Amino acid sequence: MPLQQCLRHLQRAFVNFFGKRARYPRFKSKKRPGASAEYTRQGFRWRDGRLWLAKMDEPLAIVWSRPLPVGSEPSTVTVSRDAAGRWHVSILVDASIEHLPGNQRAVGVDVGITTLLALPTGEKIVNPKPEKRDRARLAWVQRAAARKQKGSNNRAKANRRAARVHTRIADRRRDFLHKVSTRLVRENQTIVIEDLPVRNLVRNHCLARAISDAFWSTLRLMLEYKARWYGRTVIAVDRWLPSTKTCSQCGHLLDTLPLHVREWTCSACGTAHDRDVNAAVNILAAGRAVAACGDGARPTRRKSARHLSQPSLQGDGNRNCAP
């Protein structure tokens, strides 16, 4: 059964390639991590919460991450092995997710490096920085692997030790992001985020490691698909919105605001601002305007304080929203 599924996957890959929907299929070597086997309905048996694969007399000893939905029947089982040598079982079932009860709460989210998330309420969620915690251990195992002879069994063992460190870092990061994203989706009906160009930001060699450790793109992906599951709304405002440099009280726009300045006072109204919280308030205001007008938020081209009250918002079609 798994061999037949490999041929079906290869056929689908070539169909997608000749249809110009994908690149040329790559050879999957058994020496590379990510080996997997897929079993269809005739290749396994599911009974009373236990799983038997084809040609196995005893059920698999599985530590379940969560139970299957009540009344669901598995249609496909995939057994895979990661780079650290751990085996995983993924079961595909048909299930429906009920939407959460609606509410009127909305939140703006400003992402950062030291403070991963800042909310308009003043709450700040600190970035745990899982890669930084294991950076010394990771460097040690990678240097040990580099000293081994290429193609030897010792080098393979050293690579598995390095993969286990990488896996621990990825697991901690994924667990934290799941908890944060689930909390935001459950508590708020509307979540407003920035459309950040992460691919361009990581080109800065001074901040690339810290930005990659924060995993902003993964957080946005989790918020979007969980919002679709539970009937929530995620709004991404324009990346050029000057949320940090704009006073959330009077709309005064600063010319510059260095990165090391974490708190500043508006020269127009005298309001003291926390840099991240002020940005979250402006992002939330822009998201509400986007929801009302139906278009993206863009920064104003006028920098005069007497002409600027809020970032200008352009509506769709012939309908415009005034600042």
- List active site positions: 110, 194, 276
Distance of CA 248 to the CA centre of its chain: 28
Task: Specify the pairing of strand 233-237 against strand 190-194.
Answer: parallel
Of all residues in the chain, what percent are helix, strand and coil, respectively (each to 5)? 35, 20, 45
Report the alpha-carbon distance of residue 161 to residue 223 in Å, rounded.
32
Q: Which amino acid, one-letter code, is at 86?
A: R
Distance CA 122, CA 59 (A): 51
Report the distance separating Cα 162 and Cα 311, nearest Å.
48
Question: Is 8 in a helix, a strand, or coil?
Answer: helix
- Buried b or exposed e, range 50-63, using 16+ CB within 10 angstroms: ebebeeeeeeeeee
- In the DSSP assignment, the letter for residue 33 is S
- d(CA 315, CA 304) in angstroms, rounded, equals 23
